[in-house]
């Protein structure tokens, strides 16, 4: 029996994000080149997207390439970009068929032209998908996002479009790359490290965190469902007491 059958369908996290870590270490442990780990990791993306759709998650955000990843060896970056183009091109029809819409957040202009074109084609062709929104964080970091939001807010104030005294948390949300997306409920990190590596820092303020030692290429549907089951065990108080929540739910 799949763990999917044990999940409470009334308590599904609407927005799940994943830091997909461990491709290189997975490959190294098998005496393979790091690029082989990335190729295997692409297969895990397919599995987890299907799992998220089956579980009725509405938004799935994947940390695919950080701004810091530009510091990696040029050959590895090239392989990653080529793999991304290949995967996106080959998965577009499946995304459309399964009602999955693709979106992207990050400094997209830094991506190679062929990568941007593949992304834009897929985003356009999947735009009518309503079952699941798959968000790729590419050339993304949270500090980059927050700095951009601060500059945009400052510009709006300077141009008289925004009164600085009226700036609230909701205002900042409107200037983030994740504008219009639901609150982040669950943040998963594979690979064993216990940190969130400059990913969705603002959005993760009250999300549940799930860390697993499983390397990303080994993270499959059942691993994803296990993370959701762990999420469902948590009491999400958002600063309130258990007693307050109990009264509210009566």
Specify if 46 maps to a domain.
Answer: yes
Specify if 132 maps to a domain.
Answer: yes
The partner residues of 140 in beta bridges, in order of sequence, read 66
The confidence score (pLDDT) of residue 237 equals: 67
Q: What is the total residue count of the chain?
A: 250
Sheet holding 208-211, edge to edge: 100-105, 132-140, 59-66, 15-19, 186-189, 208-211
Supply the range of the domain harboring residue 30: 10-141+178-248
Residues 6+ apart with CB under 8 A from 189: 18, 19, 21, 195, 196, 197, 209, 210, 211, 212
The confidence score (pLDDT) of residue 124 equals: 97
Where do the H-state alpha helices sit in 2-33?
23-29
Distance CA 247, CA 250 (A): 5
Q: Which of 69, 98, 107, 148 is catalytic?
A: 69
Specify if 97 maps to a domain.
Answer: yes
Contact 74, 148 (CB under 8 A): no
Domain count of the fold of the chain: 1
Specify if 4 maps to a domain.
Answer: no
The confidence score (pLDDT) of residue 241 equals: 65
Q: Which of 5, 8, 11, 21 is catalytic?
A: 21
Nearest alpha carbon to residue 198 among 65, 11, 12? 65
The confidence score (pLDDT) of residue 79 equals: 87
Specify if 87 maps to a domain.
Answer: yes
DSSP state of 77: H
The confidence score (pLDDT) of residue 239 equals: 66
Chunked mean pLDDT (size 10), the chain, 250 residues: 95 98 96 94 96 97 94 90 90 95 95 92 96 96 97 96 94 96 97 97 97 98 98 77 64
Active site residue 90: no
Active site residue 98: no
Whole-model pTM?
A: 0.93
Specify if 106 maps to a domain.
Answer: yes
Specify if 26 maps to a domain.
Answer: yes
For residue 242, what is the domain's CATH number? Answer: 3.40.1180.10
């Amino acid at each position: 029996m799949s763990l999917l059958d044990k999940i409470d369908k009334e308590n599904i996290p609407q927005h799940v994000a994943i830091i997909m870590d461990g491709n290189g270490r997975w490959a190294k442990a098998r005496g393979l080149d790091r690029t082989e780990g990335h190729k295997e990791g692409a297969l895990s993306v397919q599995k987890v997207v299907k799992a998220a759709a089956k579980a009725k998650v509405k938004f799935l955000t994947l940390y695919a390439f950080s701004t810091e990843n530009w510091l990696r060896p040029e050959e590895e970056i090239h392989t990653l970009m080529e793999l991304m183009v290949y995967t996106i091109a080959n998965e577009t029809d499946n995304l459309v068929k399964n009602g999955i819409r693709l979106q992207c957040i990050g400094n997209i202009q830094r991506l190679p032209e062929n990568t941007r074109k593949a992304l834009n084609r897929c985003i356009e062709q999947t735009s009518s998908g309503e079952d699941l929104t798959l968000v790729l964080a590419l050339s993304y970091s949270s500090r980059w996002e927050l700095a951009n939001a601060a500059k945009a807010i400052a510009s709006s104030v300077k141009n008289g479009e925004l009164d600085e005294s009226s700036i609230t948390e909701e205002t900042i949300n409107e200037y983030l790359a994740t504008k219009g997306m639901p609150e982040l409920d669950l943040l998963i990190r594979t690979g064993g490290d216990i940190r969130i590596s400059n990913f969705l820092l603002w959005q993760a303020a009250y999300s549940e965190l799930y860390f697993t030692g499983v390397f990303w290429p080994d993270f499959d549907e059942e691993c994803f469902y296990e993370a959701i089951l762990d999420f469902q065990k948590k009491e999400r108080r958002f600063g309130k007491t258990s007693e307050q929540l109990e009264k509210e739910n009566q």
